[in-house]
Amino acid sequence: MYKQVLLGILIVFSVLEAKAQLKPFACDDAWVKKVEQIAPEEAEVQPSKPRKVLVFSLFTGFDHWVIPHTNAVMKVLGEKTGAFDVEVSTDIFKFEKKNLAEYDAVVLNNNCSVGPRRDLFQDVLDKDESLTAEQRTKKAAELEANLIRYVKKGGGLMVVHGAIVMQNNSMPFSEMVGGSFDYHPPQQEITLELAEPNHPLLKAFNGEAFVHIDEPYLFNKAYAQKDFRPLLYMDTSKLTNKKKPIDEPIKYVSWIKKHGKGRVFYVSPSHNAQSYEDSRLLKFYLDGAQYVLGDLKCDDSPSKL
C-alpha cells in the first residue's frame, strides 16, 4: 500500500514537472497567424496621432527563446489595431539622444546582460577595439543616461520579462523601472492575482486571476521602495523549489509608474511564447503599451501597499 501511494505521488510530481517545462518552438508564419486571430480587434483608445515604438531585442547574456515571438506580438498588436508602428532593432546606438527622439516609446525585450557586471551597453562596447577602455565605459554610461533622460522627459518605456536585467546593477535604471532582478525559482505553474481588479489596465482579465507557466521573478534594489502602482502579484507561499526564504507573502510581477514626465510598464509574464496564445495576455500587453505611449489614461500613482 505504501509503495502504491509513493508511486502515485511520484507520478503526480512527474506530470507537474513535465507540464512546467514548455518546449521552445520557432516563431513561424503559422504561429504569428494564430496570434493575429486572437489579438484584440481594436485598441482601447485610438491615438490622436501616429505612434512609433522601438522594440529593442538585443541580449548579451541569457538567450530567452521567446524574444522573436515577443517581437512578432508587438508588431501584430500595433498593426492589427493601428495603435502604433513598430521598429525592431538590436543596435545599441538607437539610444543616442537624436535617435531616441524618433520614438514615442521603447519596448525592452528580454535584454539580459552578462553577469555579474550586468551592463548590456558595456558588454557590446567592450568588443569595439577602436575605443579605449575609458571610452567604452564613458559611452556605456552615456547610453544608459540617454534612456533614463528620454523617459524623464516624457518618453514611454515598456520592460518585458528579462529586460529588467539589462542594467541590473544600476540604481538609476532600477529606480526608473521599479526594481532589479534578484532571482527566480524554477519554472512552474503560477497563479497571478489582480492587485486592483477594476483598474483599467487589468480590464483584460475580467476580474479573474491569470494562470500560466513561467519563471516566478523576484526583485530587489528599488523594488523595496514600491514606488509604483501594482497590477499583478503572486502568493509566494505557493511557490516551489525556493532557493531561500522569501521575505514577503506577496510579490508583484507587473506594475506601472511615472518616472519624471514619462511612463513605465513592467510585465514579467512571459518566459514562454505559449502564454501569448491567451487573448487576455495580448490585450494586457496592448493596454500597457498604450499606457506608456500616453494614449490610455489611468491612475498610476503609487498605491499604499
Does the pLDDT of residue 98 top 80, yes or no?
Answer: yes
From residue 243, alpha-carbon distances to 50, 77, 239 in Å are 46, 37, 11
Q: What pTM was computed for the model?
A: 0.93
Residue-wise pLDDT tens digits, 173-217: 999 999 999 999 999 999 999 999 999 999 999 999 999 999 999
Alpha helices in 20-96 (DSSP H): 29-38, 67-81
Read off the amino acid at residue 53. Answer: V
The rounded distance, in Å, linking the Cα atoms of 292 and 281 is 17
Domain range list for the chain: 2-293
Residue-wise pLDDT tens digits, 133-175: 999 999 999 999 999 999 999 999 999 999 999 999 999 999 9
Confidence at residue 20, expressed as pLDDT on a 0 to 100 scale: 56
Q: Which three cell numbers stand for residue 202?
A: 487589468
Give phi and psi for 245, each to the nearest 5. -60, 145
Q: Other CB atoms closer than 10 Å to residue 205's CB: what's the count? A: 19
pLDDT tier for residue 305 given thresholds of 50, 70 and 90: low
Mean predicted confidence (pLDDT) in 263-287: 97
Does residue 67 contact residue 163 with C-beta atoms inside 8 Å?
Answer: no
Separation of CA 177 from chain center: 10
Reported in sequence order, the residue ranges of 110-261 that DSSP labels E, i.e. its strands, are 156-160, 180-183, 188-194, 210-214, 218-220, 229-235, 250-259
The rounded distance, in Å, linking the Cα atoms of 287 and 290 is 5
The rounded distance, in Å, linking the Cα atoms of 77 and 81 is 6
Residue-wise pLDDT tens digits, 43-71: 999 998 999 999 999 999 999 999 999 99
Angle between helices 279-293 and 29-38 (to 10 degrees): 80
* The CATH number, out of the four listed (3.40.640.10, 3.40.50.880, 3.20.20.140, 3.40.50.720), of the domain defined by the range 2-293: 3.40.50.880
Least confident of 72-81, 123-132, 242-251: 242-251
Residues, the chain, total?
305
pLDDT tier for residue 300 given thresholds of 50, 70 and 90: very high
